[in-house]
């Protein structure tokens, strides 16, 4: 038996958008679990605790760091959603061709950014 790895590793694979989308899907899922969920629970707790607690939350959320966190959470949501739709299409057996897979990969990243920008534009303009 040859002394080699049983499966290819990162030094062998040629990086492509499909790998980036797969990694981003995992990272955004973790980000929503470990960042978005506590922020949501803080917001709900502040909402239920009265005006002073809610004022504390809104002061934190409307600070520059708070906006950065909220934009990051919304990007994570939209990116995870578009990547999830890509995975759903692949689960039904479509989109495995190289050109189609590459197009869906780039498109899911672009859709995540576009939806984030549209979401925040709607918030700011309304």
Angstrom distance (rounded) from CA 117 to CA 14: 31
Residues 21-42 as b/e (b if ≥16 CB within 10 A, e otherwise) read beebbeebeebbeeebeebeee
> Known binding site for heme: residues?
80
Tokens of 51: 């005006």
> Known binding site: residues?
80
Q: How far is CA 63 from CA 6, 66, 68, 75, 120, in A?
A: 50, 5, 9, 18, 15
């Amino acid at each position: 038996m040859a002394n080699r790895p049983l499966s290819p590793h990162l030094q062998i694979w040629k990086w492509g958008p499909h790998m980036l989308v797969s990694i981003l899907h995992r990272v955004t899922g973790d980000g929503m679990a470990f960042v978005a969920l506590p922020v949501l629970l803080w917001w709900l707790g502040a909402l239920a605790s009265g005006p002073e607690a809610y004022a504390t939350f809104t002061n934190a959320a409307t600070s520059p760091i708070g906006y950065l966190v909220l934009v990051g959470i919304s990007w994570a949501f939209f990116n995870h959603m578009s990547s999830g739709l890509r995975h759903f299409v692949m689960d039904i057996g479509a989109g495995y061709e190289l050109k189609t897979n590459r197009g869906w990969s780039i498109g899911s990243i672009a859709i995540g950014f576009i939806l984030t920008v549209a979401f925040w534009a709607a918030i700011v303009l309304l």
